[in-house]
Amino acid sequence: MTWAALVHVVISGLATGSIYALMAISLVIIYNATRTLNFAQGEMLMVSTFVGWTALQVLDVPLVGALLVAVVASALLGFVLERVVIRHAISATHFDVLIITLGLSLMLRSAAGVAWTHDEFPFPSFFGNRPLVVGPVRVAPVSLGIIGASLALMLALGALFRWTRLGRAMRAVAQNQRAARLMGISVERVYSSSWVIASVVGAVAGVLIAPVIFLSSKMGLVAINGFTAAVLGGFGSMPGAVLGGMLLGVLENLAPLYLPASIKHSVPFLTMITILIVRPGGVLGRVARRKV
Amino acid sequence: MRHAALATGAAVVVGWPWAAPRYFVFLASLIAINAIVAIGLNLLSGYTNQLSFGHAGFLAIGAYAAAILTIRAPALPVPAALLLAGLVTAAVGLALGVPCLRLEGLYLAMATLAFGFVVVEAILNLDWLTRGNDGLRVPAARLGPWTLATDTARYYLVVTVAALLIVAAVNITRTRTGRALLAIRESEIAAQASGINLAAYKTLAFVVSAFYTGVAGGLFALVVGFLSPDSFDVFLSVDFVAMIIVGGLGSILGSVVGAALITTLNDSLAGFQNYRPLIFGAILIASMLFMPGGIARALGTIVRPARAAAPPEPPRQGEDR
């Protein structure tokens, strides 16, 4: 295998990895606020991408308009779901909330199937198809575009967490909810904003990935790789989520070159089991010590 | 009262094949099989608070083990095949349970979910043994001089095994072991401080749970007669979790009721494939929001409101974390 082909594989791996990273980030945002895993994250991404696609078809808006529609729809969906369903289980165990989000994911997927059928639809891309040729290396513009857009979004999120009042409040709640409340932070508002921000990140990831994997009610399954990415990097850590996503994307693209091709679908799961057994806190994470 | 209820139940179960049409005999067998899985899962998730989203994987291992045994060794009597299927699955449970000791809550849920996917991929790839996507036809089981070829014969086999396993589970939960598992659920740290060997009991819960599910898998292979990897997808694991949620975490009776409800529901919604997950999800959410503790606790509060009849609540997670 030539190094040029290797570069190509790694770059497309980084592109899928960016999407996994975005999924992982949105899972981690919700986890940090409410300490629950949102099983419905992938389905929320799928529904908002479908809404954007409908705007594209029915209203004939440009692609940027579709992205905006998808983002607004997902923000609304995240807000409503948190407010109507999750908030009622605020004092419940992880297990309970996990089951609730699981129920949500089943409902959303089924509802999407009823509204848009279970077929696959092509989705237009922001980026062209003609490969960029740099010397012997050929790179798909889609890959570069996805990487660039994801990095931009990650930087924006980083800035939000670091420098805004809301970001500080979210970090405080992640560290210690009671202390944050005593400092006058509205924990409920942080819950709400976390769901909204996570949904928006999901919608952007959905619009970016839909041209590559097609738009379908099944595309929410990409969230499973997001889980793996988040676990890989240490659940709860943002830089870990990014690193985990990129690592997983590259691994998944490299594995079929050296191992039997049928292994590709098992890569995320085998990686996850291995990481959990060898280093349960993830590559960057620490295992939290609990005080009694 | 209690004895009367038990006797009526037993009479209905024994008389069922004469009263009901053939298809409902088959359905009742499925319910009994799912009840075994639900009890196994409840011993792990409800009693010991170790979530598992991978029980479809255990079921698949038990089913394929029993099927392959029946094909390769046709002379093997059914109880031996089922026992072996259970033991093979328990061994896998041990192999999965020991590394999973380091994990809790969310991580355990994800690891078991991944396990379920890996089992399906493994079945697809080991096609010299499992025939992969083509599926595996299971020959009729033999018990001494008889061949269990009718739905009724298989129903009695399933119900007998289920009854034995239910009695065993009830006894487990009443012993020192059962109390240790409950103590682990309430607080691992407190349990450890009381001298309970966490690692040993958690592993035990995993192994017993896998054994139950493996035996159920063997019965599933015999009753359904045809195995293919796509019958063991992640949604089946979700069904099992739904059974113990709706029925009641930490309740053997709840597991049986939950299995009966979810299996019947699945069957009656078979014609509405598109709406099935919608209704299913709504039921999951509603039972979590309005009926935590499941049907078992809801019944307990109706029948015996004054006494603390229902099993203790799982620990609530408050503000401090």
State mean pLDDT over B260-280: 83
Other Cβ atoms closer than 10 A to A135 = 7
Q: With left for phi above 0 and alpha for psi between -120 and 50, is residue B320 left, alpha or beta?
A: beta
Structure confidence at residue A44 (pLDDT): 92
Q: Which has the minimum average pLDDT: A27-31, A85-89, B42-46, B54-58?
A: A85-89
Q: Which residues contact B319 (CB under 8 A, 6 or more apart)?
A: A177, A178, A181
Chain B CB contacts of A99 under 8 Å are: 241, 245, 284-285, 288
Chain B CB contacts of A94 under 8 Å are: 105-106, 317
| Predicted interface score ipTM higher than 0.95 | no
The mean pLDDT value of chain B amounts to 83
Q: How confident is the model at residue B316 (pLDDT cuts 50, 70, 90)?
A: very low
The mean pLDDT value of chain A amounts to 84
* Residue range A3-278, CATH number: 1.10.3470
- Probe site for chain B from A106, A218, A290 (most B CB atoms < 10 A): A106
- Does residue A282 have a pLDDT over 60? yes
Alpha helices in chain B (DSSP H): 2-19, 22-41, 55-72, 78-100, 105-125, 127-130, 151-174, 176-186, 188-193, 198-224, 234-247, 252-268, 276-290, 294-303
Q: Does B269 touch chain A (CB under 8 A)?
A: no
- Probe site for chain B from A47, A273, A279 (most B CB atoms < 10 A): A273
- Probe site for chain A from B44, B53, B113, B278 (most A CB atoms < 10 A): B278
User: Do B141 and B222 meet the contact criterion of CB atoms below 8 Å apart?
Assistant: yes
Structure confidence at residue B317 (pLDDT): 46
User: Do A249 and A18 meet the contact criterion of CB atoms below 8 Å apart?
Assistant: yes
∠ CA A117-A122-A123 to the nearest 5 degrees? Answer: 105
Give B63 or A256, the one with higher predicted confidence: B63
Q: Does B128 touch chain A (CB under 8 A)?
A: no
Structure confidence at residue B308 (pLDDT): 45
Q: How confident is the model at residue B303 (pLDDT cuts 50, 70, 90)?
A: low
Tell me the count of A-B CB pairs closer than 8 A: 132
- Does residue B250 have a pLDDT over 60? yes
Residue B214 identity: G
Structure confidence at residue B320 (pLDDT): 41
- Does residue A288 have a pLDDT over 70? no
CA gap A40, A82 in Å, rounded: 11
| Min Cα separation A107/chain B (Å) | 4
> Which residue's entry shows tokens 């029980």?
B55
Q: A181 vs B319: CB contact, 8 Å cut-off?
A: yes
Which positions 291-310 of B are in contact with A (Cβ < 8 Å)?
292
Chain B CB contacts of A290 under 8 Å are: 189
Q: Which has the minimum average pLDDT: A39-53, A87-101, B249-263?
A: A87-101
Bridge partners, B137 (sequence order): B226
User: Do B301 and B310 meet the contact criterion of CB atoms below 8 Å apart?
Assistant: yes
Please state the pTM of the whole predicted model: 0.83
**Nearest CA among B118, B111, B104, B113 for reference residue A272:** B111
- Does residue B107 have a pLDDT over 90? no
**Per-residue pLDDT tens for A216-251?**
888 888 888 888 888 888 777 888 888 889 988 888
State mean pLDDT over B238-255: 86
Tokens, residue A162: 């670091």
Chain B CB contacts of A260 under 8 Å are: 125
Structure confidence at residue B1 (pLDDT): 66
Q: Using N-to-C axis directions, what is the helix angle for B2-19 and B151-174, rounded to 10°?
A: 160
Nearest CA in chain B to A262: B125
**Per-residue pLDDT tens for B67-81?**
988 888 877 888 888
Give the C-alpha distances (Å, rounded to integers) separating B81 from B32, B67, B74, B126, B240: 18, 9, 10, 21, 24
Question: What contacts 24+ positions apart, CB below 8 Å, involve B270-276?
Answer: B274/A110, B274/A113, B274/A114, B275/A110, B275/A114, B276/A110
User: Do A211 and A56 meet the contact criterion of CB atoms below 8 Å apart?
Assistant: no
Give the C-alpha distances (Å, rounded to integers) separating B105 from A9, A35, A95, A97, B101: 36, 11, 8, 12, 11
Q: B107 vs A276: CB contact, 8 Å cut-off?
A: yes
Tokens, residue B91: 């061994």
| Domain assignments of chain A as residue spans, ordered by start | 3-278
- Quick one: what percent of chain A has pLDDT higher than 70? 92
Q: Nearest 5°: phi and psi at B136?
A: -125, 125
Residue A84 identity: V
Structure confidence at residue B301 (pLDDT): 67
State mean pLDDT over A34-54: 89
**Per-residue pLDDT tens for A137-188?**
778 888 888 888 889 999 999 899 889 999 889 888 888 888 888 988 888 8
**Nearest CA among B179, B163, B128 for reference residue B256:** B163
- Does residue A39 have a pLDDT over 60? yes
Q: Does B221 touch chain A (CB under 8 A)?
A: no
**Per-residue pLDDT tens for B121-131?**
888 888 777 78
**Per-residue pLDDT tens for A197-211?**
999 999 999 988 888
Tokens, residue A29: 């945002």
Q: A276 vs B278: CB contact, 8 Å cut-off?
A: no
Give the CA dihedral A178, A179, A180, A183, nearest 10 degrees.
120
- Does residue B150 have a pLDDT over 90? no
- Does residue A261 have a pLDDT over 80? no
Structure confidence at residue A49 (pLDDT): 92
Which positions 67-106 of B are in contact with A (Cβ < 8 Å)?
99, 102-103, 105-106
CA gap B280, B37 in Å, rounded: 19
Structure confidence at residue A61 (pLDDT): 82
Give A51 or B134, the one with higher predicted confidence: A51
Give B14 or A20, the one with higher predicted confidence: A20
Structure confidence at residue B137 (pLDDT): 83
Structure confidence at residue A285 (pLDDT): 59
Give the CA dihedral A94, A97, A103, A107, nearest 10 degrees.
-140
**Per-residue pLDDT tens for B10-63?**
878 877 877 778 788 888 899 999 999 999 999 898 888 888 888 999 999 999
Residue A139, classed as helix, strand or coil, is strand
> Which residue's entry shows tokens 């292979």?
B221
Structure confidence at residue B83 (pLDDT): 92
